Amino acid sequence: MKKIFLLLFVLASSLCMNAQNIKYVEAVDNGQLYRGIVNDEWSKVDSIVITGEISGDNNAYFSDVKDLAQFFDLTGLNLANCKLENDEIYDWAFFPTGINSGVKSDRSDVRRGYTHIKTEERYFRVNLKHVTFPEGLKSIRERAFYRCNLEEVDLPSSVSLIEAAAFDECCYMKSMTVHVMSPGQIDISRGYGLKGLPENIILYVPKGAKSAFESDEQWSKVFKTVIELDDLSGIDNVTSAIPVSNRIYTLDGRYVGTDINALAKGMYIVNGKKILK
């Protein structure tokens, strides 16, 4: 019986790993992610890792990412090894482009194939759930992630500006993590940068910063629960002793590679243990 259970567990684990469909893309000068055509190879991609410099016309990369997240299976975007123009996520970058997102269509245009039936989660929303930001990111501009299905946001310590409605109507977001000691280090546009976040969202802050954020008028209006990172049980510090061959997962089980140094600060699962980078 134990052998059967073990076999089933191994098979289930294998299926979960194989279910991941990750694309690794190096930014190039033509400003196109997938040449504007979605074939079977692209339509089933659930995570994209982009490296290189995204600037100028290459901002079209974000437009293509948005299409894949609106109309197909993409939920994860890793920009950890990117250099973004002006160190920003530009305004309206992932804003949904049409009220028909998620509605099944008879149109033959494969780029707008609308493969998902209409649901609350897909209707006029971008189904982007996980974004890894690069270190050095300075600003997230106006309505950059408006009506995205983000579940958590981990802001690098370099972020100093969140413009109005940057995360407005991100109604599925469970947490935001910051790596600064004072709320004054991040300009939130007089509070409008945090507009539209869910009522029960949790704010994770560095050890020693809890009281500063709890006493800030703007931050405390949005975040009723503030937790210091070192208060989390079972979290260990990342060390160079972690073998680079180990598979790394986010807390929700999403595979993000094997190189811990390529990932943004945050919490991960390595060898079944929670790791704080």
pLDDT of residue 1: 43
Q: CB of 88 within 8 A of CB of 79?
A: no
As a CATH number, domain 23-229 is 3.80.10
Q: CB of 191 within 8 A of CB of 166?
A: no
pLDDT of residue 239: 38
Condensed to tens digits (0 to 9), the pLDDT of residues 37-48 reads 667 678 788 899
CB-based contacts of 168-172 (< 8 A; 24+ apart in sequence): 168/143, 168/195, 168/196, 169/196, 170/145, 170/146, 170/196, 170/197, 170/198, 171/196, 171/198, 172/121, 172/129, 172/198
Condensed to tens digits (0 to 9), the pLDDT of residues 152-166 reads 999 999 999 999 999
Cα 265 off chain centre by: 12
DSSP 214: H
User: Looking at residues 237-260, what average pLDDT do you find?
Assistant: 57
User: Looking at residues 233-257, what average pLDDT do you find?
Assistant: 52
User: Looking at residues 56-77, what average pLDDT do you find?
Assistant: 84
pLDDT of residue 187: 97
User: Which pTM does this prediction carry?
Assistant: 0.74
Q: Domain ranges in the chain?
A: 23-229, 232-277
